[in-house]
């Protein structure tokens, strides 16, 4: 997994991986091979500068927990689907598409799940208020100069030197 | 109106009937629509539709302060109302760094298990109603009423008590609480053999349940099934053991499992869970500190430090998780509720196809979905 672009941290009792969207799928495959066989949850969320997918995994044998997340921009919110690795994520990905607007490439049946099929918006995005109306003065934050999967040592080492 | 059903007739095939089951079908326990393709009595295709009870909790919660959100979490799985508060509270407690006093932990466990019994009693009654047996329903609702009365005395409400809070519970228990609970356990334990005889040992029930809706172990894990559905397929995964919370590490109990994975096994596992809950509550009644604070030190304004936390608990239906993302303000950035019935219902195509239509009803009641949490 050395060539994959990700940053691994430990938060509470979980391993948290922030991963580059292009390596998201490869990292999930590696984790699946490591024994994370149980899909606990998948969350889509709006970070203010883009959309984020968070996958919560659990190893039935090892009892280990892992969280993987990646960010994609608003104008191209596409991540590869992981339903073939964990079929249990099928509805979770549909929900993340429905409510947050993330598109999962390769998903077998990416339809809206909780909302009616004629909805045009994804209401959990921050640009909408609780009633589903566009917030007039909402502006996306700029894409971070150091995305979560890069953030780490480089900057700190530079500071120390 | 819901969009078009996704089953289209196969051209040239006249023997397949397309049937809309729900959303107002009494056996769907709420508002589930399943579009079925039927070849005689056999189900050839099944497409579930959910979302009829959708309120978008998660968006509403982003506009509420943390303390206000607890009220909303109750309303997910309204049958086991109180249990739903816990994963969210645990996640926020982790972010706040709050300690929960021992007495509060035990009170939480007692309530948690009482509501498991209450929920399983509703399932047993309505599940048997689906199968055509009316008697268990009358018994189980009478017993459940006793639990709700105990909850009402302490928390002031019956189904959605809004009683747990950050750092413990909202107020101390009623002076008669422990006595009431002990009395209920004695009564309930005397009733259990009767229910077993009425349901599990009944040859009529066994004829409907044994070998029906078999879910293999590997499929159950990969599909993200949890709770009794997973344990009836031979996987001893219980969040109370896997990631213990509150006072569970100090209590001894078994995780009942069954290898068959059929409807009978799922009924059997829930039955055994009620017995284990009685065992847990008895131990907790002994071990609970008789005095002491019922709530830890919590800042007056709840502002968790920036970060994210996923916590899970084992509610009556399985693995209920809450993912809380905080940006350090009084309002959460995102809250995601991972509800067990939502994941379990993905099994509908796996279990329905190939089964007989009458068995579909039995399979659905053995999954025990509650649509408040499926649709959120």
Contacts of B93 (CB under 8 A, 6+ apart): B100, B166, B167
User: Would you say how long chain A is, in residues?
Assistant: 161
Residue B210 CA to residue B21 CA, distance in Å, equals 24
Is the distance from CB of B206 to CB of B133 less than 8 angstroms?
A: no
* Beta pairing class for B42-49 and B164-165: unpaired
Domain interval for residue B296? 57-375
DSSP for A77-122, please give it. -EEE--TTT-GGGHHHHHHHHHHH--EEET-TT---SSS-TT--S-
pLDDT under 70: residue ranges of chain B: 1-7, 9, 27-28
Query: Above 50 in pLDDT, residue A159?
Result: no
Residue A125 CA to residue A159 CA, distance in Å, equals 35
Nearest Cα to Cα of residue B231 among B254, B247, B248, B208 = B254
Which CATH number is B206's domain given? 1.10.645.10
Please report whether residue B250 resides in a domain.
Answer: yes
Burial class (CB in 10 A: 0-12, 13-18, 19+), B152: middle
Nearest Cα to Cα of residue B231 among B253, B260, B206 = B260
Structure tokens at B162: 């809004």
pLDDT above 90: percentage of residues in chain A: 19
Structure tokens at A126: 């921050």
Mutate which: B56, B87, B95, B224, vs A, most A CBs within 10 A: B224
Mutate which: A40, A95, A96, vs B, most B CBs within 10 A: A40
HSE at residue B235, side-chain half, CA atoms within 13 A, is 27
Is any Cβ of chain B less than 8 angstroms from the Cβ of A86? Answer: yes
pTM: 0.87
Residue A39 CA to residue A21 CA, distance in Å, equals 19
CA B206 to chain centre: 24
Beta bridge partners of A17: A8, A68
Residue B15 CA to residue B38 CA, distance in Å, equals 8
Query: Above 60 in pLDDT, residue A1?
Result: no
Residue B11 CA to residue B13 CA, distance in Å, equals 5
User: Is A54 in Cβ contact with B2 (below 8 Å)?
Assistant: no
Look at residue B181 in the predicted model and tell me its pLDDT: 92
- Of the candidates A87, A113, A123, the beta carbon closest to that of B50 is on A113
- Of the candidates A43, A65, A88, the beta carbon closest to that of B336 is on A43
pLDDT in tens, A66-121: 999 999 999 889 999 988 888 889 899 999 999 999 999 988 888 888 888 888 88
Residue B213 CA to residue B229 CA, distance in Å, equals 11
Domains of chain A: 6-160 (3.30.460.80)
Interface size A-B, in CB pairs within 8 Å, comes to 106
Is any Cβ of chain A less than 8 angstroms from the Cβ of B144? Answer: no
Look at residue A153 in the predicted model and tell me its pLDDT: 56
Please report whether residue B8 resides in a domain.
Answer: no
Element (H, E) at B62: helix B57-62
Query: Above 80 in pLDDT, residue A22?
Result: yes
User: What SS3 state is found at A153?
Assistant: helix
DSSP for B266-298, please give it. HHHHHHHHHHHHHHHHHHHHHHS-SSS-SB---
Look at residue A151 in the predicted model and tell me its pLDDT: 65
Residues 81-120 of B with CB under 8 A from A: 94
Is the distance from CB of B163 to CB of B82 less than 8 angstroms?
A: yes
Number of domains into which chain B is organized: 1
Is any Cβ of chain B less than 8 angstroms from the Cβ of A113? Answer: yes
Look at residue B117 in the predicted model and tell me its pLDDT: 92
Please report whether residue B3 resides in a domain.
Answer: no
Q: At what angle do helices B357-367 and B102-130 cross, to 10 degrees?
A: 170
Structure tokens at B104: 């509060």
> Per DSSP, which regions of chain B are E strands?
16-21, 33-39, 42-49, 164-165, 168-169, 307-315, 318-326, 332-338
User: Would you say how long chain B is, in residues?
Assistant: 376
Contacts of A139 (CB under 8 A, 6+ apart): none
Please report whether residue B30 resides in a domain.
Answer: no
Look at residue B278 in the predicted model and tell me its pLDDT: 92
Q: What letter does residue A125 receive in the DSSP assignment?
A: S
């Amino acid at each position: 997994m050395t060539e994959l672009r990700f940053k691994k941290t430990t938060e509470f009792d979980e391993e948290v991986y922030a991963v580059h969207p292009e390596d998201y799928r490869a990292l999930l495959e590696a984790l699946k091979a490591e024994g994370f066989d149980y899909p606990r949850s998948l969350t889509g969320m709006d970070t203010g500068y883009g959309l984020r997918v968070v996958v919560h995994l659990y190893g039935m044998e090892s009892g280990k927990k892992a969280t993987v997340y990646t960010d994609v921009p608003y104008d191209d919110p596409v991540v590869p689907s992981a339903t073939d690795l964990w079929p249990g994520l099928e509805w979770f990905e549909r929900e993340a598409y429905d409510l947050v607007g993330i598109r999962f490439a390769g998903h077998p049946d990416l339809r809206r799940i909780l909302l009616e099929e004629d909805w045009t918006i994804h209401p959990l995005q921050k640009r909408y208020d609780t009633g589903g109306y566009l917030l007039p003065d909402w502006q996306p934050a700029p894409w971070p100069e150091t995305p979560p999967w890069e953030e780490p040592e480089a900057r700190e080492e530079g500071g120390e030197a | 109106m819901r969009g078009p059903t996704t089953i289209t007739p196969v051209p040239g095939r006249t023997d397949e009937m397309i049937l809309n089951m729900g959303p107002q079908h009494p056996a769907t326990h709420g508002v589930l629509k399943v579009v079925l393709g039927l070849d005689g009595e056999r189900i050839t295709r099944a497409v579930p539709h959910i979302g009829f009870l959708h309120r978008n909790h998660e968006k509403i919660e982003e506009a509420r302060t943390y303390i206000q959100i607890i009220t909303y979490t109750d309303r997910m799985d309204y049958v086991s109302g109180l249990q739903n508060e816990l994963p969210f509270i645990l996640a926020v407690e982790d972010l706040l760094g709050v300690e929960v006093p021992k007495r509060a932990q035990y009170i939480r466990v007692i309530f948690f298990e009482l509501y498991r019994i209450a929920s399983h009693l509703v399932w047993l009654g309505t599940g048997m109603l689906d199968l055509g047996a009316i008697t268990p329903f009358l018994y189980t609702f009478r017993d459940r009423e006793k639990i709700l009365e105990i909850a009402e005395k302490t928390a002031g409400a019956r189904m959605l008590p809004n009683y747990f809070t950050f750092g413990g519970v909202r107020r101390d228990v009623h002076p008669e609480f422990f006595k009431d609970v002990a009395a209920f356990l004695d009564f309930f334990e005397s009733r259990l053999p009767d229910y077993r005889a009425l349901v599990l040992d009944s040859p009529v029930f066994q004829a409907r349940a044994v070998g029906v809706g078999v879910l293999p172990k590997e499929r159950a894990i990969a599909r993200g099934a949890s709770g009794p559905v997973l344990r009836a397929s031979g996987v001893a995964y219980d969040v109370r053991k896997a990631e213990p919370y509150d006072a569970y590490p100090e209590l001894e109990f078994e995780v009942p499992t069954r290898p068959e994975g059929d409807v009978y096994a799922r009924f059997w596992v829930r039955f055994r869970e009620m017995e284990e809950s009685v065992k847990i509550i008895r131990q907790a009644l002994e071990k609970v500190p008789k005095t002491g604070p019922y709530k830890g030190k919590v800042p007056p304004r709840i502002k968790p430090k920036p970060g994210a936390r996923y916590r899970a608990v084992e509610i009556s239906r399985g693995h209920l998780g809450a993912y809380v993302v905080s940006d350090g303000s009084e309002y959460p950035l995102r809250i995601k509720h991972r509800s067990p019935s939502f994941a379990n219902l993905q099994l509908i195509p796996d279990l329905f196809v190939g089964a007989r239509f009458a068995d579909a009803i039995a399979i659905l009641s053995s999954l025990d979905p509650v649509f408040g949490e499926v649709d959120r």
